[in-house]
Amino acid sequence: MKKKIAAMLCAAAVICGSISGASVMAAEQERAQESAVVVTMTAASEPASGFDPAYGWGAGEHVHEPLIQSTLLVTNTDLTIGMDLATDYSVSDDGLTWTVKIRDDVKFTDGEKLTASDVAFTYNNCKENSSVNDFTMLDHAEAVDDTTVEFHMAKPFSPWPYTMAITGIVPEHAYDENYGMNPIGSGRYMLKQWDQGQQIILEANPDYYGEEVKMKKVTILFMDEEASLAAAMSGDADVSYTASTFADMTPAGYSLLSADSVDNRGINLPTIPAEERDGLTVGNDVLCDVAVRRAINIGIDRELMIEHVLGGYGTPAYSVCDQMPWYNEASEVAYDPEGAAAILDEAGWVMGDDGIREKDGARASFTIMYHPSDSVRQALAEEMSNQLREIGIEVTTEGAGWDVAYDKAQSQPLMWGWGAHSPMELYNIYHTAPGSDLAEYSPYANETVDKYMDEALSTSDLEKSYELWQKAQFDGETGVTQEGDCSWIWLCNVSHLYFVKDGLQVAEQKIHPHGHGWSIVNNVDQWEWVQ
């Protein structure tokens, strides 16, 4: 790796050295005058199904603003709800009807006016066809008149504004099976060019109704980490994503941007004894002891882990919703190996001659899985193994592809990545799954936790629901935190790193969700070149 990096540095130096200072200055001035920017993203960020919101564009774990399409609402930098197409919205007392008023001065880029009928069509189409976002709570959408749309819900759903903030509106008159590849929208940008597997070029919509777009042209290059670094070193990219591995190699003429995230890493801890269900092992005979789970939670040094694995580019994670409006600070714990040892002692886990604890003939031992292509997750698993041995818990690590990891996670921990701008992330991880007596991703159930989350969904006031989401985490007696069931261990939030060319002013970033991709360009329209 070191030889490869050195070779890239030499190549970049040759390239840079062959360009005169005058030429570089002229190129930068030209780029500034054109109000254009080149951004690199991971190859996985290219939308496999195109730019259709019904098939994942703007949604899923890589939540971002659609850019090409308008949305009814937006999330502000503090993750409060703001307006886009909508001028006002309200919800009925029973939570079953959302009424949204929209602007009457918006046109699609083909010149046709956007009306409430297009909004209703978009949402009804998503309900019927969405392969990523959940629209099961929607019964149907209805255009009352040109500027009023009603969402009739199958059941109350307080986080609905967060869905309205990521669902791009498509034109009913121009929508077909090829829409994703040739999108028409009313947003800040139009798709000018798409060379699949290589790049996407966006150009400013001249008829955009919102704040003036400062960055008129956005070119996005899809490439791996090493190619992204090389693009920055050669000056071919203005913003290049990078990893902590390369963070100390900031090219001349660039600065390192570190964006806060809720892109967390953590492991599930099965909370029931092992049993066979339909040919699948569910539960774990060691981790079903809450004392073991609590000891693990305070027996790991998150700060040290971040330093060793992420080079310091991250923050400790204590929940799946750190820094979100619905976060409960009761989730936070301090590193306390002595306290962890005391918990295990009290629970009857006796230290063996080999330094590993035992109880009733059972050894305090388990395996943590990680995806074999993810070096960070592997390193985190190995760091956990090293740290937990200090308190007498033996951890082995195992690479496992997603085709088997999901099933195996029913009986042993898996190193996961989560994080979204919606409290539904909490729900999906901890709530009992429909038709089951356990949560979906790891064996766990708590009726009180379920009750709080059900109440949170049923309230007609989004902000009032935050308190209920917080109580689901911990209400003073029960919940999913250290003093509760402690069914997941959250380790760190991974900072998203970028090399940014000098002279480019990147607008303030809101907390990035899981996925190191489109989030960086959520507000690219407000970036600008400064002298």
Assess whether 283 and 357 both reside in one domain: yes
Domain-ending residue, one of 151, 180, 209? 180
* CA distances, 492 to each of 62, 142, 190, 267, 296 (Å): 18, 43, 37, 11, 15
79 pLDDT higher than 90 = no
Q: Both 295 and 225 in a single domain? A: no
pLDDT for 29: 53
The pLDDT of 462-476, averaged and rounded, is 96
**Two tokens at 112?**
């046709």
Residue carrying the six token digits 């569910």: 282
Paired tokens of 440:
């979906």
Check: CB of residue 330 under 8 Å from CB of residue 324: no
The contacts of residue 328 (CB under 8 Å, 6+ apart) are 319, 469, 470, 471, 473, 474, 479, 481
* C-alpha span between 324 and 516 (Å, rounded): 18
In a domain, 203, yes or no: yes
DSSP codes, 186-227? SSSEEEEEEETTTEEEEEE-TT--SSPPS--EEEEEE--HHH
What average pLDDT does this structure show over 238-253?
A: 94
Tally Cβ neighbours within 10 Å of residue 487: 23
- The answer as to whether 62 is a domain residue is no
Residue 67 and residue 317: Cα distance in Å, rounded?
30
- Give the separation between CA 387 and CA 44, rounded to whole angstroms: 32
CATH of the domain at 514: 3.40.190.10
**What CATH number did the domain enclosing 95 receive?**
3.90.76.10
Phi first, then psi: give them for residue 126, nearest 5 degrees. Answer: -65, -40
In a domain, 249, yes or no: yes
Q: Answer yes or no: is 500 within a domain.
A: yes
Torsion of CA 368, 369, 374, 375, to 10 degrees: 40
Owning domain of residue 25: 1-52+187-260+496-531
Q: Express each pLDDT in 336-360 by its tens digit.
A: 999 999 999 999 999 999 999 999 9
Give the lowest-confidence range in 75-79, 167-171, 505-509. 75-79
Residues 439 and 308 reside in one and the same domain: yes
Same domain for 13 and 97, yes or no, is no
515 and 434 in a common domain:
no
**Residue 423 DSSP one-character state:** T
Amino acid at 472: A
Q: What total of structural domains would you count in the chain?
A: 3
Cα four-point dihedral sign 419, 420, 422, 425: negative
Residues 179, 252: Cα–Cα separation, whole Å: 42
Summary count for the chain: helices (H), strands (E)? 13, 26
**Any residues with CB less than 8 A from the CB of 123 and at least 6 apart, and which?**
135, 138, 141, 151, 167
- pLDDT-based confidence at 32, cuts 50/70/90? low
Share of the chain above pLDDT 70, in %: 93
For 346-368, b where at least 16 C-beta lie within 10 A, e where not — what string?
ebebeeeeeeebbbeeebbebbb
Final residue of a structural domain among 134, 162, 180? 180
- Is the alpha carbon torsion for 203, 206, 209, 212 positive or negative? positive
Digit-coded pLDDT (tens) for 192-219:
999 999 999 999 999 999 999 999 999 9
Question: Residues 487, 354: one domain?
Answer: yes
Q: Let me know: does 18 contact 12? Beta carbons within 8 Å.
A: no
The partner residues of 493 in beta bridges, in order of sequence, read 264, 315
Are 204 and 256 contained in the same domain? yes
Does 353 fall in a domain?
yes
pLDDT at residue 241, as a whole number: 96
Residues 280, 376 within the same domain: yes
| Amino acid letter for position 448 | T
Asked if 355 and 392 count as a contact pair (C-beta separation under 8 A), the reply is yes
Residues 324, 443, single domain; the answer is yes
Q: Is the pLDDT of residue 19 over 50?
A: no
Distance CA 218, CA 240 (A): 13
Tell me what the pLDDT averaged over the chain comes to. Answer: 92
Residue 219: CB atoms within 10 A of its CB come to: 18
Convert the pLDDT of each residue in 436-456 to its tens digit: 999 999 999 999 999 999 999
How would residue 20 be classed by pLDDT, with cut points 50, 70 and 90? very low
CB–CB of 72/116 below 8 Å?
no
Question: In 3D, which of 474, 511, 122, 100 has the Cα closest to residue 315?
Answer: 511
Query: How many whole angstroms separate alpha carbon 270 and alpha carbon 368?
Result: 12
Position 279 scores a pLDDT of 92
Any bridge partners for residue 365, and if so which?
A: 394
**Per-residue pLDDT at 31 exceeds 80:** no
One domain, residues 166 and 238:
no
Same domain? For 269 and 254 the reply is no
In a domain, 63, yes or no: no
Is 204 within 8 Å of 189 (Cβ atoms)?
A: yes
3-state secondary structure of 358: strand
> Cβ neighbours of residue 452 under 8 Å, at least 6 residues apart?
468, 469, 471, 472, 475
The answer on 173 and 225 residing in a single domain is no
The CATH number of the domain where 485 resides is what? 3.10.105.10
- Evaluate whether residue 59 is within a structural domain: no
The residue-averaged pLDDT of 308-327 equals 96
pLDDT digits (tens, 9 = 90+) for 484-522: 999 999 999 999 999 999 999 999 999 999 887 899 999
Is residue 236 domain-resident?
yes
What are the tokens at 215? 């960055």
Among candidate residues 125, 153, 180, the one where a domain is terminated: 180
Cβ-based neighbours of 476, under 8 Å, separated by 6 or more: none
